[in-house]
Amino acid sequence: MDFDTIVLKIMETSGLPREDINIKIVDKQSELSGLVSKEGAAYIIAKEMGLDLLQKSNRRLEIKNVVAGVRNLNLTARIFRVFETREFEYKGQKGRVANVILSDGSGTIRMSLWNEQCDHVERLKPGMGIEIFAAYTKENQGKPEVRLSKRGGIKLLETCDLPEITDVPMNGVGGRTTISNISEGGSCEVRAALVQLFETGAFYEMCPQCNKRIKKEDGSFKCAVHGEQKPDFMLILSGVIDDGTGNIRCVFFRDNALNLIGMKIEDALQLRDGFFEKLNVLGTEFIFSGQIRTNKMFGRKEFVVNSVNKVDIRTESDKILNTLKSN
């Protein structure tokens, strides 16, 4: 900060005329036997008047500029999405993790909250302005991710001048909808993250001729139509997806299950022991299409997925643009 800027700051804050400030500065210099420059003297005066000129500038850090490896990060953002807290067990220890997507108009970033930090999730709603303090960033799947340090926290802002999160209507664009809006019957598409996989079943024997499930009878696998067969395997997975508006149980059969985990059946079979521990898919976003049906046994809605696709950023942004244009 140059001398004139310091003087201006002192004028603004104190309301004193420039001449008075200049006199104070000269006095201070002589008081200190001319050992300080006029800038130095001005700094001292400002400090004596309670002005902190060395305060960090108010320029806000934009999300698009956040990189991995930042320590002591303070960030102002709006909540874009809040995913449900997930429980996990690691080396015999139970833990919790919750992901929140933050946005500030320049970009979005994931914040992951761990264990007791997950308690924040209850207070966080999409659209809210928040300030995160004493946070840090870490690389996760090639992208920076925000985490809170032990002293870190989240402050809810009463007012926030960041752009509102525009809720881009997805209905009617290729059947795209949100989980909170899906209803039974018809097919639909959602963009959501896989947040849970149930560790049941997985591999089933099937007839290589007709791909129907076959069971072992008297020591061999028999298809009702094709007789005794050396079975092929199919993968069936079930889990929960969440798009921030809600979550729903899903069932993935065959290729859809394989697309979800990004593997071929041969590779999946190789992992058969400890299969679920070796998957690294939780938290990944996909575009899911399928049909909603009611599981009569449990009386709950289920999404029977018939296609799983990776999120293609270009197609996604085109879709959003088209929706905006057509509105």
Positions that interact with Zn ion (CB under 5 A): 207, 209-210, 223, 225-226
- Asked if residue 124 lies in contact with residue 82, where contact means CB atoms within 8 angstroms, the answer is yes
| Alpha-carbon span 254 to 235, nearest angstrom | 5
Q: Which helix (H) or strand (E) holds 7?
A: helix 3-14
| Alpha-carbon span 221 to 54, nearest angstrom | 78
Nearer to Zn ion by Cβ, of 150 and 230: the residue is 230
> Where would I find the beta strands (DSSP E) of 129-231?
129-140, 143-156, 187-197, 202-206, 215-217, 220-223, 227-228
Nearer to Zn ion by Cβ, of 83 and 221: the residue is 221
| Alpha-carbon span 78 to 114, nearest angstrom | 20
CB of 238 to Zn ion, least distance (A): 24
Nearer to Zn ion by Cβ, of 210 and 324: the residue is 210
Indicate the SS3 state at residue 190: strand
Nearer to Zn ion by Cβ, of 225 and 311: the residue is 225
Could you tell me the two tokens for 214? 């076959």
CB of 204 to Zn ion, least distance (A): 14
Nearer to Zn ion by Cβ, of 138 and 226: the residue is 226
CB of 308 to Zn ion, least distance (A): 26
Nearer to Zn ion by Cβ, of 205 and 255: the residue is 205
> Which residues have CB under 8 Å from 101's CB, separation 6+?
79, 80, 81, 82, 83, 108, 109, 110, 111, 244
| Torsion angles phi and psi, residue 248, rounded to 5 | -150, 145
- Asked if residue 146 lies in contact with residue 109, where contact means CB atoms within 8 angstroms, the answer is yes
CB of 223 to Zn ion, least distance (A): 3
CB of 205 to Zn ion, least distance (A): 11
Length of the chain: 327
Residue (of 255, 269, 265, 264) closest to 309 by Cα position: 255
Nearer to Zn ion by Cβ, of 151 and 230: the residue is 230
